[in-house]
Structure 1
């Protein structure tokens, strides 16, 4: 069997056509679960072994080091197998694979552990080449060092700079260094101080601005031509000084690895021509996620003659917020008129009802390539849509369902289950319940809730307010937000406390009497800090824990601090939303003023201490369980890209949550939100649950958002709906629950009713972990009446 026939035997017809087409450039539009990277690797193998293209003439670009290394390893393996000419008759051809009810993609899936990155086994198909690969006695074996042009964008252009950076006409030499994030932040800190702008611009804010310029191909000279406002002019000065400092240190930051080659090619046509002549074939994985400078660099390297393969899925373009331009992918024919399009439309991952739902959602977008994704797998299941009363009910019902599925053997391992949400803050109620129920979980791609900086900062303030002797908390918060109290000053205060056998708080109070030399700014910062803390302490008795946290955050202007630290409002708002979730957690402690005591007998300080005790227990459990392997996965929809799970819950599906509020008025942003929903839906292999709540607490306020519009885009025949949130008919029987009744809750156990408001009750549960909670009457079973 020749290599062309062999490759055809290992791929479906769509994949085979795309892999074997090399006469013109190719645009391969690959639907979710359709074997995208598998096809790409086969194409490279065909170029090397079928068409005998020298590997040095092939440039293959990926987005992650992991994917690049995997590609290299598999290509080396296939080379050995072809060279040895080994066989295995049992592997057979595509016909025998399909006759057994499986496809090559299914074989990959059987080798893949559930929920792992798909890229982990994208090359496993190469193992099959020893079964029927054509004999090749060529001595021209593929060696590791020949694969230097397979890599990430940054690694590829680093190689180019190592050869030609001195031709830029700058101070750089070939021995240049590359600064990591901390090192470049240190440079930026010095620059801001030198310009006297350290109190106006924060390091992340300036770095984000510069990164945007660089990813648009603009050095300081290029940026000044388009900057107009006073703010822009100040940023230009920062950019200019920052670049001078990098150049003086013969060092680059990460963005320079793309900017400098771009400038090099524009300035030196001879060098660009040398690279044009070097590469005959250029292949770009995940091409829909390229930003402006990445796409321009590919166009430059390709020139007019290189054969280009762009492979990706416009349905899964979800990184517009960080500069990805899907228009590059959609408008490729403008600069490559002869490019031939191939579509991979067979999904080997998901069952039909999931594939159909994804199709129905994504078809509502306008700016995309039309595809009709079909499922290779069979089945007639339906998607389950849950409605809940609130976000806590949503979490309680889903956690309870996961418990039952595990107990009944429907879930063999908890890592088969993933809960996806739009923003990190939405993990909080699930984390609380998983911790309380002793169910191991893993937050994917983010810190656990109590490990997040903004939460630690807030809790440190509360600890200090409750216990001024807490030096650890005081050190954390004294200059957060910034009060111009430097590290040296804090160290001096700490040393004085040690010398005088006291705490740092006492030193702060008497610092003016101790002869400590401080800058006027630091002195003022300490005075403002103490004044603010005294003001907060005086309100302890009259404020509930939730009110105190909200007052504290406003007093110290923590949101303004986040905006500067994170480099913009969108990034800051997500972290601020996490503090809102902490406020939500503290809300229930307001209700304890009615628990067995006269109103007001438990003052705010005691409530705050109780809240902090619960937080301490939850934080401790979080640390102890962080190493669990058999764990439910929690992650944002963005973090789920490239993953798959047998069972997926997508939660918080309400307008203004998913899609986000800012997408409701912007069609382009709404389309990206819909693509993100498509990505989330197509992570599910077997079972998909979609969930929304009638009300949701946001930053301490209850909001009533309508169900997500994306739910209405799925046809009724694909779903079954369950209203668990009080949305039933008015004539449904309602049990009589009265104050003093003993009740049972399916998740929180036994308790007794403190108050009844219409269909809501205030219940104190016997288990101190759950305390006092607001519960809808229909979730309670009366087990004893108060006579």
Structure 2
């Protein structure tokens, strides 16, 4: 797809003038692998953005030949906005998103090659954990002895390393490690349950595209041909599966640019493999390396302290940050007896500074801590000191109970095999289907070898389900079937508005008690977000085959 404006009329050379020599070296690199070691505050986002602009403006690369991978959706959105501002138009057709969104887009096109449909559900951490617990119950793996979260973490680690359920079982079924033996039982059955429910967990969004490319050479060739230039941010935080995905996509043409900082690798605990960046030149022979060592964020004293600390780390590529901002406030290190003493010192220091500068607002101060558990001592100290404070990063919007409840309906409408969504939706709002009735329905579904929603449609055939409960289940199934039909032709915002109104969800929430109005407002905000989504120009809608997906699938992928 061409750029939506004539690149020759845009003032693109301005993006080069603002760069220092090292940044410009990275931006002007054309073909072949490129490793950019970008220190903190060295302008790496500017470099990534400028290089994409340079590929399009100077080298005439079509935007749809470029793949840019970031670690957050926010970063992807900001990058697209910057590129559009510089070039004077949207880089139409360019893929820019996270590894997981990249994987989801690939799977939306080709999931049927692996045994799923294109309307698959993506299970978040909570939904995945519930399925782990169900699998343990079926296998009689005691959750009190074998922690479900630990089992999920082990499975996630195996997937990060592209270890299949069968391989894990073969390696660990007779292991002396009793925990590994339990995981070897759960992993294959958990993955089987996901497939039966037409669902992927987050790890599958990386694992399954790799599997797809390894088993379907023509599809891999299609994506290799399309993405002639691949650019990756925060490369130090990539895991093995992400490395393999990048290797598969770029190994033929070699036009892979990665930007990262081995000194900022902090996600080893969740699978990040520092070797990806340390051994980049071995993995991609002939790689050009550029070091960005000019810091634009911090003062000289802060950098001196940071350099002195990180210099002790021998497992690094090596670089020394520098700045033109000389001097600065002295870095203070305070040792305290315990967390209570530490919190007291922090409050005293803030009070002292507020006393010295009465016009300074309390919001100018920030306290960072490593774990959420550490906030307790700090909050106690702030309350005792009478200092106003706000905890940033509470429950995320899409993780709130009422939002998850409404989304369960949308998930089930999109994917009738989603058992987790069925269990959540059928019980709320209340319709006379309790836990006992749900258990009986599950047994009926197992006996008949059908999904829960189909079992609900046939609930009157199940002798163990009382007449009233069976009638409620059939009404519920009819509701889902009705909206499944509407989803093929209604925008998701309108679909959601109609569903919320028919179920009287806002009234149900308001009747719950003091927090009900806030919960109702959250659902209204969800509807507003869906309406905004309808208004956006979705490239996916243009690129995916018609009648193979609905806008609802894409909305659920977004949230």
Secondary structure at the residue paired with 2:231? strand
Distance 1:410 1:285 in 2: 42
Residue 37 (structure 1) aligned to one of 16, 34, 45? 45
Unaligned runs of 5+ in 2: 1-8, 396-433, 437-559
The match for 2:126 is 182
Matching of residue 208 in structure 1 with residue 156 in structure 2: no
Matching of residue 154 in structure 1 with residue 162 in structure 2: no
Matching of residue 344 in structure 1 with residue 344 in structure 2: no
CA gap 1:310/1:143 in 2 versus in 1, 3 angstroms: closer
Secondary structure at the residue paired with 1:369? coil
The match for 1:436 is 384
Matching of residue 308 in structure 1 with residue 252 in structure 2: no
Distance 1:153 1:163 in 2: 16
Residue 355 (structure 1) aligned to one of 293, 299, 303? 303
Q: CA deviation at 1:76?
A: 2.3
The match for 1:59 is 67
More helix, by proportion: 2
Distance 1:393 1:166 in 2: 59
The match for 2:162 is 217
Is contact 2:39–2:295 with CA below 8 Å preserved after alignment? yes
Deviations, residues 535-587 of structure 1 (Å, cap 9, x unaligned): xxxxxxxxxxxxxxxxxxxxxxxxxxxxxxxxxxxxxxxxxxxxxxxxxxxxx
The match for 1:197 is 141
Is contact 1:166–1:174 with CA below 8 Å preserved after alignment? yes
Distance 1:194 1:370 in 2: 51
The match for 2:184 is 236
Secondary structure at the residue paired with 2:332? strand
Is contact 1:157–1:261 with CA below 8 Å preserved after alignment? yes
How do 1:428-577 and structure 2 match up within 5 A?
A: 428-445=376-393
Secondary structure at the residue paired with 1:32? coil
CA gap 1:282/1:404 in 2 versus in 1, 3 angstroms: same
Distance 1:255 1:421 in 2: 28
The match for 1:399 is 347
Q: If you compute each CA radius of gyration, which structure gives the higher value, 1 or 2?
A: 1
Secondary structure at the residue paired with 1:403? helix
Distance 1:175 1:380 in 2: 55
RMSD between aligned residues: 2.4
Is contact 1:405–1:411 with CA below 8 Å preserved after alignment? no
CA gap 1:143/1:368 in 2 versus in 1, 3 angstroms: closer
The match for 2:322 is 374
CA gap 1:411/1:325 in 2 versus in 1, 3 angstroms: farther
Distance 1:179 1:16 in 2: 42
CA gap 1:273/1:399 in 2 versus in 1, 3 angstroms: same
Matching of residue 334 in structure 1 with residue 282 in structure 2: yes
Is contact 2:165–2:184 with CA below 8 Å preserved after alignment? yes
Residue 357 (structure 2) aligned to one of 388, 409, 432? 409
Q: CA deviation at 1:268?
A: 2.1
Distance 2:52 2:344 in 1: 49
Deviations, residues 423-451 of structure 1 (Å, cap 9, x unaligned): 4333333221211122122334468xxxx
Corresponding pairs, count:
386
Residue 270 (structure 1) aligned to one of 218, 223, 226? 218
Deviations, residues 330-358 of structure 1 (Å, cap 9, x unaligned): 10011212111111111111111111110
Secondary structure at the residue paired with 1:208? helix
Distance 2:194 2:335 in 1: 55
Distance 1:257 1:370 in 2: 33
Residue 279 (structure 1) aligned to one of 214, 227, 230? 227
More strand, by proportion: 1
Task: Tell me the TM-score normalised to structure 2 length.
Answer: 0.65
Deviations, residues 223-269 of structure 1 (Å, cap 9, x unaligned): 22332425433322211111111111222112111111111122222
The match for 1:70 is 78
Secondary structure at the residue paired with 1:418? coil
Deviations, residues 680-701 of structure 1 (Å, cap 9, x unaligned): xxxxxxxxxxxxxxxxxxxxxx
The match for 1:19 is 27
Deviates most, 346-355 or 400-409: 400-409
Q: CA deviation at 1:157?
A: 1.2
Secondary structure at the residue paired with 2:192? helix
Secondary structure at the residue paired with 2:45? helix
CA gap 1:195/1:385 in 2 versus in 1, 3 angstroms: closer
Distance 1:410 1:359 in 2: 35
Secondary structure at the residue paired with 1:282? strand
Distance 2:359 2:338 in 1: 26
Distance 2:286 2:159 in 1: 31
Distance 2:134 2:325 in 1: 59
Is contact 1:424–1:446 with CA below 8 Å preserved after alignment? no
Q: CA deviation at 1:176?
A: 2.0
Is contact 2:15–2:86 with CA below 8 Å preserved after alignment? no
Deviations, residues 129-187 of structure 1 (Å, cap 9, x unaligned): xxxxxxxxxxxx5355x23x11000111111112222223xx31223222233333333
CA gap 1:411/1:68 in 2 versus in 1, 3 angstroms: farther
